[in-house]
Structure 1
Amino acid sequence: MEFHSCPRNHAQEIPVATGSVLCTSCVEQLARHLRTLPGLHQEGLHHILSTSRRRNPTKVSGSRRRDPLNVSALDARNNILAILESWSGFVVEKLGAATPDRSVPHLACFLILNLEWLATQPPAAEFADEVESLHTESMRAIDPEPDDHSAPVIGCVVDDCPGTINASPRNARTAVKGSVSCSSGHSWEMRELLTIRHLMDRQRKDAA
């Protein structure tokens, strides 16, 4: 049996049997990451709106909370869905398989079922790298390092508004309920966050 080396930049060369692109440890790691992504995707939902974690917060009658937007958590969730959908499309195109439902649990399950075949394909290392990046990005968004205090300043997406949207540090925890507001008073509810993200992306492209 012929062997070659795994292309994923291991500290030492690890042999891989003919027919596979990835070594056994890479395939096993890839399967683990795919199994955890649905849970991380769901957990990220609770970290999109950032607020200090308090066991017994004081409720002020008539007040509406304005929580800062955790862009890292929002990006991580969007990236999981987009990348899993892209690789599932690759499998569907090459194998003629039925297209899975457009949800992270279904897409991840579909990729796991086809993992043995994917490991033999030329872009297998790229697939493994992207899934590992998704796992790392999601973990940092929901359980960041103590010294991670990046807080990007984001201009309000409303035309001609000079305000900024309060993007939270990655180490902030989040709440599902609440709303996001800019410094000039424009506000958006939870259901509108994806629209806001698309507008911010367009704003950056226009500036570039």
Structure 2
Amino acid sequence: MEFHSCPRNHAQEVRAAAGSVLCVPCLGQLERNLRTLPGLHQEGLYHVLSASRRRNPTKVSGSRKRDHLNMSALDARNNSLAVLESWSCFVAEKLGPAVPGRSVPALTGFLLHHLQWLTGRPPAAEFADEIEGLHLELLRAIDPEPGEHNAVLVACVVAGCPGKISTSPRQQERAGKSGLGCSAGHAWEMRELLAVGHLMNRQRKDAA
């Protein structure tokens, strides 16, 4: 009987599980990461307008910290959906079933259902690495390490405006804004920030 080693980076050679490209520990970690993605993706939504996790969500009085646009959380949510959809399309092309609705719970459920088939294919290590990357990206966006910053400076989303938008909470406080604004004077209320964030994210991708 021929044995193959797991292609992921291990301190020592680890045999792949029967019928899989990955070893047993990698298989278990991959499944756990997939199962946690929907919850992390949903929690990330609550942090799109916040710099860090609210340690005591029941405490309202005495906290006047301004909300601001958390681009790390927005990017992590968008990346999760894009990566999961890409792998679901890969499965659909090879096996035939239609890709489910474009949502993280539906896509992760689809991938978990076909996990045995996926982990037996050559791209299994790449799949595991990308899912682990999404898991870590969402965790860091939700609860960043001390000293981490996610502020960015981008062109105003209003056509023809030369102003710049900064997502730095300190700059927003200095400007005395209750939402988000550009250096030329355009301003958006808190309820509009998610839509503005998508436009900013699109600009960054186009520039790249």
Report the TM-score when normalising by structure 2: 0.81
Alignment of 1:32 with 2:32, yes or no, is: yes
Question: RMSD of the TM alignment (CA)?
Answer: 2.7
d(CA) in 2 for partners of 1:71, 1:8:
30
d(CA) in 1 for partners of 2:195, 2:26:
36
Distance 1:161 1:66, change over 3 A: farther
Matching residue of 1:196 = 196
Superposed CA deviations along residues 164-196 of structure 1, whole A, max 9, x for unmatched, are: 323248xxxxxxxx7433243323356655543
Superposed CA deviations along residues 116-159 of structure 1, whole A, max 9, x for unmatched, are: 11000111111111100000000000011112134222222223
Give 3-state SS (helix, strand or coil) of 2:39's partner.
Answer: helix
Identity among equivalent pairs (%): 66
Return 90-99 or 50-59, whichever deviates more: 50-59
Distance 1:48 1:87, change over 3 A: same
Give 3-state SS (helix, strand or coil) of 1:26's partner.
Answer: helix
Distance 1:109 1:207, change over 3 A: closer
Would you tell me which structure has more helix in proportion to its own residues? 2
Matching residue of 1:49 = 49
Alignment of 1:182 with 2:187, yes or no, is: no
Would you tell me which structure has more strand in proportion to its own residues? 1
Superposed CA deviations along residues 71-110 of structure 1, whole A, max 9, x for unmatched, are: 0000001111111111111111111123212111111111
Is there any run of 5+ residues in structure 1 with no aligned partner, and where?
60-64, 170-177
Amino acid paired to 1:29: Q
Matching residue of 2:127 = 127
d(CA) in 1 for partners of 2:206, 2:75:
19
Amino acid paired to 2:146: P
Distance 1:131 1:207, change over 3 A: closer
Distance 1:3 1:17, change over 3 A: farther
Alignment of 1:67 with 2:67, yes or no, is: yes
Superposed CA deviations along residues 33-60 of structure 1, whole A, max 9, x for unmatched, are: 111000011001111112686631578x
Give 3-state SS (helix, strand or coil) of 1:165's partner.
Answer: strand
Distance 1:24 1:78, change over 3 A: same
Give 3-state SS (helix, strand or coil) of 2:154's partner.
Answer: strand
Work out the number of aligned pairs and report it.
Answer: 195
d(CA) in 1 for partners of 2:63, 2:18:
63
Matching residue of 1:20 = 20
Contact preservation (8 Å) 2:69, 2:197: no
User: How does 1:82-97 map onto structure 2 within 5 Å?
Assistant: 82-97=82-97
Contact preservation (8 Å) 1:49, 1:180: no
> Runs (4+) of structure 1 moved beyond 4 Å?
51-54, 189-195, 205-208
Amino acid paired to 1:111: L
User: How does 1:71-82 map onto structure 2 within 5 Å?
Assistant: 71-82=71-82
